[in-house]
Amino acid sequence: MSNTGESNSELFKLGQRVHSVNDRRRIGTVKYVGEVQGYSGVWVGVDWDDGNGKHDGSVNGVSYFRAWAEKSGSFVRVPNLSPGVSLLESLQLRYKSESTKEEEDEMYVLSASNKRVSVELLGKDKIQDKLSKFEELTGASLSYLGVSSPGVQCNGDTTLANLKHLDLTGNLLSDWKDVGTICEQLPALGALNLSNNLMNKDVSELPQLKNIRILVLNSTGVNWVEVEILKHSLPAIEELHLMGNNISAIKIVSTLRLCLICGLKPMSSPVVEGFESLQLLNLDDNSVADWNEILKLSKLRSLEKLYLNKNKLNHVHYPDKDTIHEPLGAYESHEKSYIPFQKLSCLLLGSNNIEDLASIDSLNLFPDLRDIRLSDNPIADPGRGGIPRFVIIARLAKIEILNGSEISRRERKESEIRYVRIVMSKLPDNPEEIKQLHPRFGELKNLHGIEDERPSIGAGGPQKMASGLLFITLKCVGASMGEKPPLTKKLPATTTVGKLKILCESFFKLKSVKPKLFLQEEGSPLPLLLDDEMASLMDLGVGNESTILVDEES
């Protein structure tokens, strides 16, 4: 290896983040710099983030470093690695470099005769000129450009004085001190995205970032202990995103070490303090399994949105009085009582392991909750023994948006009536049992004026809907059924699924097709399979003016 290569090896040090010269998205951490037995020259041992290496840090029986996976490590020649560029250099690269003639030649569309027609970017020069004037930039996306340091900016330099939004996803930053320097150089910066930068554990050197309102730390390796330290540098934070960090616990740090780091007085609290302006906390795609960890967030007075999709939660409950009045240490004297989650209006719980009705019913206790996501939980999947959408709507009194779909007044009314009727059809006349299993049953029964219904005897008045008739729209969707217009039929609520299948064969003249029925519900992404042939429309909670899809058995 040449002397130049040897001297270039000084660019790399242990723990440094680097990327492949040929691919800025191929990022790793330097774990070794030096010679490798049996090979000439200097090598850099890299532990690759994507796990796509050749070994675990050992070659020919000699261990040089320990990689995070069996084949995430490799040795790379110095010229094939880049230590990255400064923030200012990346801005030059992204916004002041012009497209080449070759790149512009590749911009074309195909005409009707399949000939290439070049695309002319109208106003390209004007846009390029505006972007190249850094003082006019209000937002910059520098994702995967190898940014590893702030760069030098002279005092009083107003080049980036108007930059408010900065996306640094997938770069080589790791030192919080560098993050602080970047924020100090950008006085207007309010939103910073550091996703996919592997940040180190020492958060102590981060200065006060008084203007940062939105901070994105997805897949950065931070844990809640570091968040507890970070919050003292983020007095104005409104949105904090912590996706994909394998967080399993909300660890409240009240140690002397933290007090020394942040200059605070020792305190004791069972809940997260501070974050006075935090409105949105995103903990999607982590490893929280115990709901008691989430209850530690209950005192965040400004928190309106809490994202907990793709965790490991199996139960949800609202804190009881004993939890609310738990001793609060230094805060007990002036904040003995508070309303947990007092402003929480949006709670996303998709793709967890929730499977009990008590968790659903507990959501009614959150004082301002209106938007809830429960999709991909066992309790919300009828195919796994869960309950359909209309039952969830009926059990949750204040919810306005379920699984991203707005609940209309009509859908709520019909869902609640269907729910009451299905409860009445299946449960014995035991008020205590009904109240325990269906807390809102009595309330909804009175709200919609539904009387106890039994099949009428003799020539009394008109039959009640529970034993009367339903208007049902039937739609053929089977591939071999051909195009058949939908049919609206008046059917007894006691009609079973098996009987309805026979009727569909007659209605649509299906000679050799065995029908399969699905209930299409408003707001639900997938129709509900009706596979219990002995169950009646009334048993299944099928309401008036419902739509049933007629498919074919495969």
For residue range 339-375, list pLDDT tens digits in order.
999 999 999 999 999 999 999 999 999 999 999 999 9
Q: Please report the domains of the chain, with CATH numbers, ordered by start residue.
A: 16-82 (2.30.30.190), 85-100+122-150+159-254+271-320+340-414 (3.80.10.10), 415-448 (no CATH), 469-552 (3.10.20.90)
pLDDT band at 435 (very low <50, low <70, confident <90, very high): confident
Contact 82, 99 (CB under 8 A): no
DSSP code for 464: P
DSSP per-residue codes, 83-108: --EEHHHHHHHHHTPPPPHHHHHT-E
Q: How confident is the model at residue 45 (pLDDT cuts 50, 70, 90)?
A: very high
Strand order in the sheet with 280-282: 139-141, 165-167, 191-193, 214-216, 239-241, 280-282, 305-307, 346-348, 371-373, 401-402, 405-406
Token pair for residue 470? 């339903």
Question: How many CB atoms are located within 10 Å of the residue 399 CB?
Answer: 19
Q: Are 484 and 501 in contact (CB under 8 A)?
A: no
CB 293 within 8 A of CB 315: no
Burial of 94 (0-12, 13-18, 19+ CB in 10 A): middle
- Cβ burial 12-35 (10 Å sphere, 16+ → b, else e): beeebbbbbeeebebbbbbbbbee
In DSSP terms, which residues pair with 239 in a beta bridge? Answer: 214, 280
| Residue scoring higher pLDDT (268 or 492) | 492
Residue 503, both tokens: 């009727």
Between 483 and 35, the more confident residue is 35
Beta partners for residue 58, in sequence order: 63
39 strand-pairing partners: 36
Using one digit for the tens of pLDDT, what is the confidence trace for 365-411? 999 999 999 999 999 988 788 888 999 999 999 999 999 999 999 88
Q: Which of 165, 229, 155, 174 is closest to 192 using CA atoms?
A: 165
Asked whether the beta carbons of 513 and 552 are under 8 A apart, the reply is yes
Q: Which residues contact 5 (CB under 8 A, 6 or more apart)?
A: 41, 42, 77, 78, 79
Q: How far is CA 230 from CA 225, 304, 539, in A?
A: 9, 21, 54
Q: How confident is the model at residue 66 (pLDDT cuts 50, 70, 90)?
A: very high
Does residue 519 sit in helix, strand or coil?
Answer: strand
Share of the chain above pLDDT 90, in %: 57
What does the pLDDT read at residue 2?
Answer: 43
**Cα gap 331→340, rounded to integer Å:** 15
User: Do residues 478 and 518 make contact, with C-beta atoms less than 8 angstroms apart?
Assistant: no
User: Of the candidates 499, 221, 194, 525, which has an alpha carbon nearest to the alpha carbon of residue 380?
Assistant: 525
- The mean per-residue pLDDT over the stretch 446-471 comes to 58
Task: Give the three-class secondary structure for 361.
Answer: helix
Pick from 96-105, 394-403, 530-539: least confident? 96-105
> What pLDDT score was predicted for residue 313?
98
Q: Which residues contact 257 (CB under 8 A, 6 or more apart)?
A: none
Tell me how far CA of residue 531 lies from CA of 473, 496, 501, 510, in angstroms.
Answer: 18, 11, 11, 19
Contacts of 352 (CB under 8 A, 6+ apart): 308, 309, 310, 311, 312, 313, 314, 376, 377
Q: Taking the CB of residue 53, how many other CB atoms lie within 10 A of it? A: 22
